[in-house]
Amino acid sequence: MPTSTASQPTTKRGRPGYDQQSVLRIAVEVFNKHGYEATSMGILAENLGISKSAIYHHVPSKEDLLRLALEEALGGLEGVLTRDGATTGPSDARLEFVLRGTIHVLTDKLPFVTLLLRLRGNTAMEREALLRRRAFDRTIAALVSDAQQDGSLRTDIDPRTITRLLFGTINSIVEWYKPGGPISATALADDVIAIAFQGLHK
């Protein structure tokens, strides 16, 4: 059966050994190493071991690589908010579900989320991504506030402060977590939830 044109962008091959997704993965590694703005198509081509013109068989521009990378991160995070565990049940259970889901997205798409967290908002695309990220954060703050109002969480701390502290902890994972290392994503989520909801006291 012929392949539909809708599926071609993710499988299109310009040179043997590369498809769009593999080009994207390497590009994100390079963006994270050198910074997006400092990365030229020449640097990307050098890291890929292909010519600059060969990259254009996969994507039309460096900006398109950034768009695809940010969608990997933001689409994953926003997807957590649409699942049943995030929309039904007690507010504290919904909050825990979203935090666990966020950690799993972060560990599963670590390079992409790292790139998202390092954006400075220097381009329209970056500013749009930052707006989506802030909307995600506001949803978490609303869940924290709901849990405070129904008595599930302490009320003497501003919900925005709780949200910032939670995400300060979660976002720091990109700086030290090693996929495939001794700590699994599930164990890591368990540890973060334990500290966030129960603290360190025995």
Reported as a single tens digit per residue, the pLDDT across 13-64 is 444 457 889 899 999 999 999 999 999 999 999 999 988 888 888 899 999 9
Long-range CB contacts (< 8 A, 24+ apart) of 137-140?
Answer: 137/163, 137/167, 139/81, 139/98, 140/95, 140/98, 140/99, 140/166, 140/167
The answer to whether residues 98 and 155 belong to one domain is: yes
Separation CA 197–CA 80 (nearest Å) = 20
**Which DSSP category does 68 fall into?**
H
pTM: 0.86
Give how many domains the chain has, as a whole number.
Answer: 2
CATH number of the domain residue 22 falls in: 1.10.10.60
- 121: left (phi > 0), else alpha (psi -120 to 50), else beta? left
Separation CA 49–CA 54 (nearest Å) = 10
What's the confidence (pLDDT) of residue 53? Answer: 87
The answer to whether residues 151 and 135 belong to one domain is: yes
What's the confidence (pLDDT) of residue 151? Answer: 94
Spatial CA neighbour of 126 closest among 47, 73, 58: 73
What's the confidence (pLDDT) of residue 17? Answer: 59
The answer to whether residues 127 and 88 belong to one domain is: yes
Let me know: does 105 contact 80? Beta carbons within 8 Å. yes
What's the confidence (pLDDT) of residue 15? Answer: 45
The answer to whether residues 171 and 99 belong to one domain is: yes
- 146: left (phi > 0), else alpha (psi -120 to 50), else beta? alpha
The answer to whether residues 164 and 179 belong to one domain is: yes
Residue holding tokens 């579900």? 97
Residue 186 domain-assigned (yes or no): yes
Residue 18 domain-assigned (yes or no): yes
Residue 2 domain-assigned (yes or no): no
Residue 162 domain-assigned (yes or no): yes
Q: Tokens standing for 189?
A: 């989520």
Which range of residues forms the domain containing residue 40?
A: 14-60
The answer to whether residues 29 and 77 belong to one domain is: no
Residue ranges of the chain with per-residue pLDDT less than 70: 1-17
Separation CA 149–CA 6 (nearest Å) = 46
Residue 8 domain-assigned (yes or no): no
Residue 181 domain-assigned (yes or no): yes
Residue 6 domain-assigned (yes or no): no
What's the confidence (pLDDT) of residue 19? Answer: 82
